[in-house]
Amino acid sequence: MEDVNITEEDVMEIMDQFTKVPNLILKRMVSRNVNVIKKFENQILDHKSKLLDNELLKIRKVIEMQVPELQEILLNVYKNTNKKQLKTLADPKAQPFIETNLNYLDMIYFNET
């Protein structure tokens, strides 16, 4: 795989949809480990068709990151933006939620049958 540097902006681009959800609702989804990606699969597939190869590569790199590393980035961005959703996602309790959603995102983008 080509070597690509992932920035906080790249991570935020992928996590952006989660920051649009009110924090109270996001906390509920995290606690229930809801697969949000599955609910938006058709929109994601539509978006995928418009992505360039380098954009897909960045998505793959973020998906392959260890969740604690990803959460550290989210916490750093939270400190700069004060978006409560990022703090919620950076909480270690959110790890299963992030794993569930990233795994499904990986399936949609890279493991088509």
User: Please, which residues have CB within 8 angstroms of residue 18's CB and are 6 or more apart in sequence?
Assistant: 26, 36, 85, 89
| Top-confidence residue, 23 or 7 | 23
Q: Which residue in the block uniquely carries the two structure tokens 């929109």?
A: 43
pLDDT of residue 113: 46
pLDDT of residue 112: 59
**pLDDT band at residue 3 under the 50/70/90 scheme:** low
User: Please, which residues have CB within 8 angstroms of residue 70's CB and are 6 or more apart in sequence?
Assistant: 11, 62, 98
**pLDDT band at residue 18 under the 50/70/90 scheme:** confident
pLDDT over threshold 90, residue 7: no
| Top-confidence residue, 2 or 48 | 48
